Amino acid sequence: MIRLLALCFALIALPFTVHAAPLRIAVVTLAATGCDDGLAKKMGGEVFVRHLQKRLNTIVRLCGFANSTTAMQALGAGKVDLAPADQASYLPVRDKVRATLTARSAKGAGRVMAMAMVTKASGRKGPNLLIGAKPIFVAAGEVTHDAPLAGLRAAGVDLSKLGSEVLAGDLVRAASDLRSGKGDVLVVYASHYQRLCRGDKPNEKPCDDLKEIWRGRPAVTQALAVRRDMQPDLRYQLISIFIAMHLEAPDAFAFATRTTPGAASFDPTEAEALVEIR
Amino acid sequence: MSKFVDQPTIFDRSSWSLEQIVEHFEAERSRQLRRGRFVQLLQVLVITGLFGGAFQASGFFSSYLGDGAIGRIANFLSRLFPHLQPDRLFEDRATSGSLLYWLYDLNLWLKLLAETVQIAIVATVLGAVLALPLSFLAARNLTPARWIYWTVRRTSELVRTLPDIIVALILVAAFGLGPIPGVIALTLGTAASLTKLFAEANEAADMHQLEALQSAGGNWWQQLRFGLIPQVLPNLASYSLLRLEINVGGAAALGIVGAGGIGVELSRAITFTEFDTYFALLLLTVGLIFVFDLTSEAVRDRLIGAEKAA
């Protein structure tokens, strides 16, 4: 009985065991300060550090860098574990680090997923074969037009070489314009794609005659980056903490997004999200 | 002219004066109140009749045992309370009327109470550990297949319908006397009830975090471990502490069928009609449950408070 009791207390104590390695987070300050225990207080980030320590069950330290380039170099060198990145600072160390989280803006479309579809009969196989093709959009607007175009640009499509745009006015007409040859490629965002191609009944395939040649999202300008060799478990843990931070600890969220005003929440992101043209 | 001729009917209220409306309202209200009182009186009469019939049928007043219900209750109470003598209260164990005379086997009882607590803690922890993975399968939003959800839910319902004491009785026959049958019986009951409570907490969790981890490449277990468990952990801990309180009482009762703990002594005291001993054991058990209640309440408040403060 005593052995069973000891086992039970060991089970209860298991979640409270502290991880050995502290988490070092790079922050951009006026001057490089290194990893300093007092930096969180100086920068008003105590709530942020406390929240991460509680959720990660480990020591969290802020490390000051003069700019994001030096912060990313430190990340690449393994001197810190998490750092703010922009497109310029990411590229030199992209083989060692990856984007992992990005702040979603409260306004605007954000990183809306978009798709490009052609008719199967057209024979087009990829976004790079769209030179001269007339794109069809459901309507002008940030979500229906600008964000999908930005996504295409990030996919390497030279937008200046596309043909004249067709603005269909509604989704059904846009699909009909593609089928009738009024345009060559239908560019829609994810929600429109679902409505158009999901069908009302099981096994119904309304887009059976169409072919998706691209799907993607626009690049981001800022992200939080980690080392590519970071343990997946720790990366997932960080993602889950940051995703819920705006709800669980709004003050910590405000500190984490102090350089991206208007941020509403964090989103997970793909490794190469900071690369403008992939 | 008849008085009814002057009074407007319900169909021509538009022509009523204010006095007529008030008079009609008052009349209607009195009528409804009278009817309500009559129905209430009728209910009281019916319920009283049913009670009377039940008392008569159960032999409460006309039993052949002893000197009537009130007399028997008085007799029981007089035997239940210890006959403590203020002048001998702190005398030794051999002196009738002293505290030690009443609590003549306190050391054994405290040892058995400790065993009761051990049974409750072990059963709660093992039950919660079993319930956690089952709750993932029994949550509509997490289960990998509908048939798994159905099977786990129905099985936990089946186990919940079996009273712990019946399970313990069967296990005592299988394993013999001692705390192990009690631990197993309570573990099964705890696992079954916590599976349901945990599953409901899981179903109420925000799926956004799990979806985020899935999109980042996390597998099912990683989604649960990093996306779900941190969200629901305060709830799971709170439910487990509540179950611990229930199990302390449950473990005390299980001893009656020989499954260890203070219940063994309770059963002996009843069998030998040592009602004052029974009362002493009852006080110790209630005191223990109070302590557990207060402690777990404090821990629960701290858990929830810490979560809100974070």
Confidence band of B3 (pLDDT split at 50, 70, 90): very low
Average pLDDT, chain A: 86
pLDDT at A100 over 90: yes
Look up the pTM and report it.
Answer: 0.72
At B1 the pLDDT is 43
pLDDT at B202 over 60: yes
Q: Name, in order, each residue with C-beta under 8 angstroms of B275's C-beta and a sequence gap of 6 or more.
A: B76, B79, B80, B269
Burial of B251 (0-12, 13-18, 19+ CB in 10 A): buried
Most A-contacting residue of B119, B122, B124, B303 (CB-CB within 10 A), to test interface: B122
Q: What is the average per-residue pLDDT within A245-267?
A: 90
- Distance of residue A6 Cα from the nearest chain B Cα, in angstroms: 9
At B2 the pLDDT is 45
Confidence band of A69 (pLDDT split at 50, 70, 90): very high
B250 and B186 Cβ atoms separated by less than 8 Å: yes
Q: Which of A17-26, A31-40, A116-125, B167-176 has the highest mean pLDDT?
A: B167-176
pLDDT at B172 over 60: yes
Q: Name, in order, each residue with C-beta under 8 angstroms of B8's C-beta and a sequence gap of 6 or more.
A: B15, B16, B20
At A152 the pLDDT is 86
Q: What is the average per-residue pLDDT within A169-174?
A: 90
Among partner residues A2, A5, A268, which is closest to B216 by beta-carbon distance?
A: A268
Q: What is the pLDDT of residues B226-275, one digit of tens each?
A: 899 888 988 898 899 889 989 988 888 888 887 778 888 888 888 888 88
Among partner residues B125, B209, B310, which is closest to A8 by beta-carbon distance?
A: B125
Inter-chain residue contact B216 with A233, CB threshold 8 Å: no
What does the radius of gyration of chain A's CA atoms come to, in whole angstroms?
A: 23
B284 and B290 Cβ atoms separated by less than 8 Å: no
Average pLDDT, chain B: 85
Packing angle of the helix pair B68-80, B275-309 (nearest 10 deg)? 70
- Distance of residue B32 Cα from the nearest chain A Cα, in angstroms: 53
Q: Which of A155-159, A231-235, B196-200 has the highest mean pLDDT?
A: B196-200
pLDDT at B11 over 70: no
- Distance of residue A1 Cα from the nearest chain B Cα, in angstroms: 8
Most A-contacting residue of B226, B231, B240 (CB-CB within 10 A), to test interface: B226
